[in-house]
Chain A
Amino acid sequence: MSAMNELTKGFFKENPIFKQALGMCPFLAVTSSVENAIGMGAAATFVLVASNFLVSLFRKAIPAKVRIPAYIVIIATFVTLVDLLMNAYVPALHRNLGIFIPLIVVNCIILGRAEGYANKNTVFHSILDGIGMGIGFTLAMVIMATFREILGNGSWLNINLLGEAYQNQPLLIAILAPGAFILMGFILGFFNIMEKRRKGGDK
């Protein structure tokens, strides 16, 4: 039961994007298409699980004073691994994500989980936490990318949904930079309303 909770809390209850507002930079930047969102989500999840595993494994060996640099080096190692693997096997996706792959290093979700969870919990729970948070992050990106790709390109995961007539004249702003900010504003506003409804229902 507890293990299940560690896994699923990242999906909605403690969703890194919608509830904790962490990892905003890659979230806004790569959600212009669902494909990019899934690619970034997979890369970040891998780094998250691997770094959580290693940090948790060495949690008693790393002195408290140098723990942050140690975590950063661990995270950077896995990011380099992902960078090289993606460059070798999915070069097109690697090109699309570009600078945001090395920037996974400074994604606050990953350092946040290392510092806030993995350094005081068992290896098994830390891995589950990493998977859960990774899925939560990916889920949030896919939701955002779904809005942006359908509005801005008339397609979902490169499958044409709205027909050629729409694709010739789409709501282009949705996949440009402003669309990301504006949609995020409305999504967070929507979450605020839901939260208020839920609290109101409790009374």
Chain B
Amino acid sequence: MTPAALLAAFIAAPEGGEASFSVARMMAIIISAIFVNNFVLMRFLGICPFLGVSKQLDSAVGMGAAVIFVMVLASLGSYLVYHNVLVPHELVYLRTISFIIIIASLVQLVEMILQKFSPALYDALGIYLPLITTNCAILGVAVLNIEEKFSLGYALINAVAAGIGFTLALVLMAGLRERMETANVPASLRGLPIAFLIAGAMSIAFLGFAGLGG
């Protein structure tokens, strides 16, 4: 495949999508996925890991990296299967089933490859990988790429940006919760309730991005 043909494959839009590629649209997608429609704080995707893995900064960073990694792979896999297998054979109704199988097997594959070739990275990300299969942010970004009628290039950009948005929320939350350890929280709000209240305050802050980037 020549570079030109590869590029054409990346920006070819599906039926009903935008045909051209522009930097302005790319920036809009990035800003939208990270800030305006932040996956955790605005779209409520990936709440379980957001609350479960945000107690320490280190594990938040590890989880974030694993999510970005799997999100990009899952977007690529699901996009190719949807537009090259399901659409031509009129099997669109199998979308949910095929996507969840793709994600589950990808996670398994990534886990095995990491274990074999990069034990150090496996030690760092390993415990988060099994959790990612049931992370609705992954399936969410795969489905959103299809529903927004993105081209493959836009879909991958959207996946990276969504992953960064997730990581941003997770890391901010972990930083705040580490400080909460020493704070004097009312007894009845300790644990999950105060985590929700913090998330609400963060969500208000992110509401300020509304309207940015269209």
A interface with B by C-beta (< 8 Å): 21, 24-26, 28-29, 69, 72-73, 76-77, 79-80, 83-84, 99, 102-103, 105-108, 111, 173, 176-182, 184-186, 188-190, 192-193, 196
**How far does the alpha carbon of A173 sit from the alpha carbon of B199 in the complex, in Å?**
14
Binds A, one of B66-74, B137-145, B175-183: B137-145
**Interface size band for B:** 35 or more
Query: Which 4 A-B pairs rank lowest in CB-CB distance, beginning with the nearest?
Result: A185-B196, A181-B200, A182-B200, A185-B197
What are the residues of chain A within 8 A of B42 when measuring CB–CB? Answer: 177
What are the residues of chain B within 8 A of A188 when measuring CB–CB? Answer: 192-193, 196
CB of A72 within 8 A of CB of B147, answer no
Which chain A residue has the least Cβ–Cβ distance from B45? A25
CB of A76 within 8 A of CB of B48, answer no
CB of B194 within 8 A of CB of A185, answer yes
Binds A, one of B6-14, B82-90, B96-104, B119-127: B96-104
Interface residue B25 (Cβ < 8 Å from any Cβ of A): no
Within the complex, the shortest CB–CB distance from B23 to chain A, in Å, comes to: 27
Which chain A residue has the least Cβ–Cβ distance from B186? A189
| Chain B positions 101 through 138: 1 when the CB is less than 8 Å from some CB of chain A, otherwise 0 | 10010000000000000000000000000000111100
Which chain B residue has the least Cβ–Cβ distance from A82? B96
CB of B188 within 8 A of CB of A69, answer no
Q: Which of A77, A177, A189, A193 touches B44 (beta carbons < 8 Å)?
A: A177
Given A25-B47, A25-B48, A185-B194: A102 touches B95 (CB 8 Å cut-off): yes
